[in-house]
């Protein structure tokens, strides 16, 4: 699901409360209404939107009562910094994903050979610890990204546009790009993007080629 649409969907407090409840157990409309103190009509409308988004599904029991439950795992990440605002949604990797192919991540947790409940609970504790460590590592990386971008901005020069210069350089560091592509990447009008590129070109930082704008040096 598009991250912007997911942000809009989860911007409603009652929808978040419904998801928290359904994460604990499947519920029917009246039950959700009583738990949250929200009218059944409002609950039905919230559930409709959550179903359309693919976050919630329903099933009918033997008494023909309709239960709702969480449909799948979704992770929403939001990053707000002086260098940008970004969000992305992601779904868990398949069970066949080989974590050892990730250069910078090494995990030593396995529960496939768990023989009993004690082993599973131990694996759960290990995975929760890994989750916490990854969260801390992500925050550290985000801080390092900010510091690097800040240093790049300082190298280019002070001023209100310096952060945009850093974003432009980050966008073209791997391949040449057109003004239109760069404008889309950094969320700045094309004419403004073109002016910024010309300023950096005068400083010898970037250059325009047949393939598009690119770094003027390998540095």
- Residue 139 shares a structural domain with residue 108: yes
Q: According to the model, what pLDDT value does residue 160 have?
A: 55
Q: Distance between CA 157 and CA 151 in Å, rounded? A: 10
- Residue 161 shares a structural domain with residue 137: no
Is there a contact between 63 and 73 (Cβ–Cβ < 8 Å)?
no
Q: Distance between CA 8 and CA 25 in Å, rounded? A: 24
Whether 161 maps to a domain, the answer reads: yes
Q: Distance between CA 106 and CA 117 in Å, rounded? A: 26
Q: What is the pLDDT of residues 107-149, one digit of tens each?
A: 777 777 777 888 888 888 888 888 888 888 888 888 888 888 8
Whether 175 maps to a domain, the answer reads: yes
What's this model's pTM, rounded to 2 decimal places? 0.69
Whether 176 maps to a domain, the answer reads: yes
Confidence band, pLDDT 50/70/90 cuts, at residue 219: very low
Whether 80 maps to a domain, the answer reads: no
Question: Over 60: is that where the pLDDT of 218 sits?
Answer: no
Q: What is the pLDDT of residues 32-88, one digit of tens each?
A: 999 899 999 999 999 999 999 999 999 998 889 999 999 988 888 888 887 778 888
> What's the total number of domains in the chain?
3
Q: What is the pLDDT of residues 201-217, one digit of tens each?
A: 988 889 999 999 999 87
Whether 86 maps to a domain, the answer reads: no
| DSSP H or E segment with residue 78 | strand 75-81
Q: Which domain holds residue 65?
A: 3-70
Angle at 141 between CA 135 and CA 145, to 5 degrees: 145
Angle at 144 between CA 138 and CA 145, to 5 degrees: 90
CATH of the domain at 163: 1.10.10.10
What is the three-class DSSP state of 115? coil
- Residue 103 shares a structural domain with residue 144: yes
Whether 83 maps to a domain, the answer reads: no
- Residue 118 shares a structural domain with residue 100: yes
Whether 9 maps to a domain, the answer reads: yes
- Residue 17 shares a structural domain with residue 46: yes
Which segments of the chain are extended strands (E)? 56-60, 66-70, 75-81, 84-90, 206-209, 212-215
Q: Distance between CA 11 and CA 18 in Å, rounded? A: 13
- Residue 203 shares a structural domain with residue 176: yes
Question: What backbone phi and psi angles, to 5 degrees, belong to 179?
Answer: -60, -40
């Amino acid at each position: 699901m598009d991250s912007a649409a997911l942000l809009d969907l989860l911007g409603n407090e009652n929808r978040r409360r419904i998801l928290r409840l359904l994460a604990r157990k499947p519920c029917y409309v009246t039950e959700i209404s009583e738990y949250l103190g929200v009218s059944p009509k409002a609950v039905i409308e919230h559930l409709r939107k959550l179903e359309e988004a693919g976050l919630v599904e329903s099933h009918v029991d033997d008494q023909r009562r309709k239960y709702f439950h969480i449909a799948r795992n979704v992770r929403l990440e939001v990053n707000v910094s002086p260098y940008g605002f970004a969000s992305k949604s992601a779904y868990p990797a398949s069970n066949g994903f080989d974590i050892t192919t990730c250069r910078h991540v090494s995990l030593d947790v396995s529960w496939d050979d768990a023989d009993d409940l004690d082993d599973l609970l131990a694996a759960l504790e290990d995975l929760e610890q890994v989750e916490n460590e990854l969260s801390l590592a992500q925050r550290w990386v985000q801080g390092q990204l900010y510091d690097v971008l800040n240093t790049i901005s300082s190298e280019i020069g002070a001023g209100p546009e310096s952060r945009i210069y850093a974003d432009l350089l980050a966008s073209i560091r791997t391949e040449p790009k057109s003004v239109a592509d760069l404008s889309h990447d950094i969320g700045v009008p094309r004419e403004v993007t073109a002016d910024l590129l010309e300023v950096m070109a005068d400083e010898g930082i970037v250059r325009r080629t047949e393939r598009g704008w690119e770094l003027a040096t390998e540095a």
